[in-house]
Amino acid sequence: MGIQHGDQYVIAFERASNHDVSLIGGKCAGLASLVAAGAAVPPGFAVTTRAYLETLTARNLGREIRTRIEAVTEQDVEAQADIAREIQDLIRSEPMSDRITDAVRFGYERLCALTACDLPVAVRSSGTSEDMPDASFAGQGDTYLWTVGADAVVDRVRDCWASLFTARAMAYRGKHNLVHLDQAMAVAVQQMVDARAAGVAMSLDPSNGDRSKIVIESVWGLGEPLVSGLATPDYFVVDKVLLEPIKRVVASKPTELVADIANQTTMLREVDEARRNVASLTEAQLRAVARVVKAIDRSFGAPQDVEWAIDPRRTDDEGVVLLQCRPETVWSRKACSPVVSKSYAPGIEGVLSTLMAPLASRKH
């Protein structure tokens, strides 16, 4: 349908496209592309960069941020870290306008009306310079899982804005001569999936660029421990043509991240002995993930990094839903035929670590 003139602060994924990066950021543009391609995607919406930029201009907040940035040199790492914390505190303490707050609340309430009251959502940063084909730095901001209630969503949106000014993000921009205040932050608000299993997939083999293969990594529960490097996943290589597994390495998985519904958060719990050394995907689920990833690769006409989950409430495609997608950026840039590179170990490893930023709870 496309973005309409009235979509100032909140835009449903199905109304946006991958051409709207400046307004909805890389992650949301990827989600919009998946929806347009007909993929199974949990419903959600983007809080636009316009909301962020208007908040920044209110009461000269942008000028205060610039003043602090200019007060330190790139070489003074300790001072930069202090300034980063100051800037984040400034953004978190800056009230949103009623117009923006009402729009975010309305977006959340409309999402609840489609599904259930007090819907748990993931609130995820979606920077304008992340998750894009020519962006080497993604994952600029944070993700907050199992957020419940309009008030909490508004607070987490502000936290995502603040995460644009972490010390790491600021150091990267300084190294690459990017102007801090030229970068903008949108936010994705998306229905949570109480995943039976989850993981990442790439529609080529990242160890050698072989486009005839699909590589899948999976864990029990939610996928954040995998992409943040806290869990060793199961590892599968699937033939893209036949959708036949040709390699599988089943890891020991002693813990899983799951919903703590009573406390409206997530928790890391022990996996029972019977499942610890069992593959987190059944044969049918593995083929379903590969089939969906293959379809997205074909639809977009280029290799893709995909974040997925198994939603036990769904019956089609073995419950596979897609949570994020971004173009593969390493082998796709090579003009010559793929060759094996020793700098890439088997598995997806860090290539997809940007798909989900660390949980906010790990900061506390």
- Beta sheet of 185-191, edge-to-edge order: 10-12, 44-47, 185-191, 121-127, 143-147
Q: Which pLDDT tens digit goes with each residue over 161-214?
A: 999 998 888 887 777 777 878 889 999 999 999 999 999 999 999 999 999 999
Superfamily of domain 197-363: ATP-grasp fold, B domain (3.30.470.20)
Q: What is the pTM of this model?
A: 0.85
**Over residues 323-328, mean pLDDT:** 91
- Contact (Cβ atoms closer than 8 angstroms) between residue 147 and residue 156: yes
Q: How many CB atoms lie within 10 A of CB 309?
A: 25
What's the CATH fold of domain 10-191? Dna Ligase; domain 1 (3.30.1490)
Q: Which pLDDT tens digit goes with each residue over 121-172?
A: 999 999 887 654 444 455 557 899 999 999 999 999 999 999 999 888 888 7
HSE of 18, CA atoms in CB hemisphere, 13 A = 16
pLDDT score, position 364: 36
Residue 4 has pLDDT above 60, yes or no: no
- CA–CA distances in Å: residue 27 to residues 8, 18, 84, 93, 355: 18, 9, 23, 25, 8
Q: What is the DSSP letter of 240?
A: T
pLDDT score, position 336: 41
- Residue extent(s) of CATH 3.30.1490.20 domains in the chain: 10-191
> Mean pLDDT across the chain, nearest whole number?
85
Above pLDDT 70, what percent of the chain? 86
- Residue extent(s) of CATH 3.30.470.20 domains in the chain: 197-363
Beta bridge partners of 321: 309
